[in-house]
Amino acid sequence: MSEFYDALEKRTSEERDAAILASLKAQLVHAKANAPAYAESLADFDVSGFNNTEQLSAYPVTRKSELISRQAAMRPFGGLTAYGQGQLKYIFSSPGPIYEPQTLSADYWRFARGLYAAGFRKEDLVHNCFSYHLTPAGAMADSGCHALGCAVIPAGVGQTELQVHTIHDLKPTAYIGTPSFLRIILEKADELGVDVSSIKKAMVSGEAFPPSTRAFFLERGIQASQCYATADLGMIAYESTADSGLILDEGVHLEIVRPGTGDPVADGEVGEVVITTFNPDYPLIRFATGDLSAIMEGESPCGRTNRRIKGWMGRADQTAKVRGMFIHPEQVDQVVKRHPEIQKARLVIEWIDESDQMTLHCEVADGSDDLRQSVSASIRELCKIRGAVELVSPDSLANDGLVISDQRQYD
């Protein structure tokens, strides 16, 4: 059986560069003709004359942070889609809220390639622990598994004891989800004395994957690889079993730019990830993710020839990803406005006991347990994940403009 998903992964740089140039030109022409937002933003650009990838740096950047206001002005997708009538399959909702489409296109999110590089094959039964509730993560992984011919257990998140017994009974060979939840499952299985050793491979994403967690999985006989994907773009980059950087997916064009600009930086320099996708249904062009990364030198030792990035290296703005969910400053503001007792607030995110922990520090003149519980409930409702609440005295938070303080440090 081939170790490569298809021949695209082994192209020479000349072959890939020529194909990318052709795909970029076709996508620009298509987006301008069929997506209302791009008809407006590209009105002054001669897309038919696009003949060099370096010309792309002159095109406007669309920032992820803009999607909330764009979509509010033009429901549901801000005029950025270009699919035909009747092709829409699902509409998902991510925190913000930001709405994402999925059309009838096979493997819409392009997850199959990354799963294949992680060792997933047709005979695998996959335990999918990404969320199936409103957000697209569960469906993203499902689409890739089904493209490979894998059967899927749609496990979702939570109910750890039930997860353990399901794995024991059905004996899935592979896991998809956050690394922290896989660790929770394994530790719960140890506590219950239940055998879950059928899992031999994993694709993890949605949060940091520190070396200590990878080593823990290897001790349990699990080869885990990570991928970098977003709800807007699908798969961006993935690890192979060679564990040497993240290989770019063949369905996107990546630029690393100076944060807050559209200006590309030199290879190796840390900057913001900007993606142009070749998805004709949702043709995002120069889409600024807000994530930081850098291009690595050379090719992966696994034999795949596409460029590699170092993976997720932080955020270019105050938006943070916690347990696989984006948390925006606007959501913190929504929580504060629900509770007039709060004079000021700051969301602090930390890495504690191998998992993300977030605490909303709230300046209040007169705090109470009832207020703490009420604020905690608002966090869960508006941010879609749980967070602790700490009530502090007025004027105790720093006057530095930070709404979200990401203090995570990994081993």
Task: Give the predicted TM-score (pTM) of the model.
Answer: 0.81
Q: Which of 257, 283, 315 marks a domain boundary?
A: 315
**What CATH number does residue 155 fall under?**
3.40.50.12780
Query: Any idea which residue has 């006991």 for tokens?
Result: 353
**Three-state secondary structure call for residue 294:** coil
Any idea what the Cα angle at residue 201 is, between residues 131 and 165, rounded to 5°?
A: 60
Q: Residue 140: how many CA atoms within 13 Å on its side-chain side?
A: 31
Residues 266, 181 within the same domain: yes
**What CATH number does residue 338 fall under?**
3.30.300.30
Q: Which of 315, 338, 368 marks a domain boundary?
A: 315
Question: What are the C-alpha distances in Å from 335 to residues 377, 381, 390, 407?
Answer: 9, 9, 14, 21
Distance CA 113, CA 316 (A): 28
Residues facing 347 on adjacent strands? 360, 404
Residues facing 311 on adjacent strands? none
Residues 357, 293 within the same domain: no
Residue 21 included in any domain = yes
Residues 177, 79 within the same domain: yes
Residues 304, 335 within the same domain: no
pLDDT tens-digit profile, the chain (411 residues): 579 999 999 999 999 999 999 999 999 999 999 999 999 999 999 999 999 999 999 999 998 889 999 999 999 999 999 998 779 999 999 888 999 999 999 999 999 999 999 999 999 999 999 999 999 999 999 999 999 999 999 999 999 999 999 999 999 999 999 999 999 999 999 999 999 999 999 999 998 898 999 999 999 999 999 999 999 999 999 999 767 899 999 999 999 998 778 889 889 988 899 999 999 999 999 999 988 899 999 999 999 999 999 988 877 777 888 988 889 888 998 999 999 999 999 999 999 988 899 999 999 999 899 999 999 999 999 998 999 999 999 999 987 767 899 998 876
* Domain total in the chain: 2
Task: Report residue 404 as tokens.
Answer: 């979200």
Residues 167, 267 within the same domain: yes
Task: Report residue 117 as tokens.
Answer: 């590089």
Residues 257, 336 within the same domain: no
Distance CA 191, CA 169 (A): 17
Residue 3 included in any domain = no
Report the pLDDT value the prediction gives residue 1, as an integer from 0 to 100. Answer: 52
Residue 411 included in any domain = no
CB-based contact 228:246 (threshold 8 Å)? yes
CB atoms within 10 A of CB 59: 19
Report the pLDDT value the prediction gives residue 308, as an integer from 0 to 100. Answer: 97
Distance CA 87, CA 102 (A): 9
3-state secondary structure 180-204: HHHHHHHHHHHHHCCCCCCCCEEEE
Task: Report residue 60 as tokens.
Answer: 């406007």
Residues 309, 324 within the same domain: no
Q: Which of 258, 290, 315 marks a domain boundary?
A: 315
Report the pLDDT value the prediction gives residue 29, as an integer from 0 to 100. Answer: 98
**How far from the centroid of its chain's Cα atoms is residue 45's Cα?**
30
CB-based contact 12:305 (threshold 8 Å)? yes
**How far from the centroid of its chain's Cα atoms is residue 62's Cα?**
17
Distance CA 298, CA 260 (A): 28
Report the pLDDT value the prediction gives residue 401, as an integer from 0 to 100. Answer: 67
**Domain range spanning residue 276?**
8-315
Residues 296, 360 within the same domain: no
Report the pLDDT value the prediction gives residue 56, as an integer from 0 to 100. Answer: 97
Question: What are the C-alpha distances in Å from 113 to residues 63, 126, 191?
Answer: 26, 15, 35
Helix 211-219 to helix 179-192 angle (10° resolution) is: 40
**Three-state secondary structure call for residue 327:** strand
Residues 63, 110 within the same domain: yes
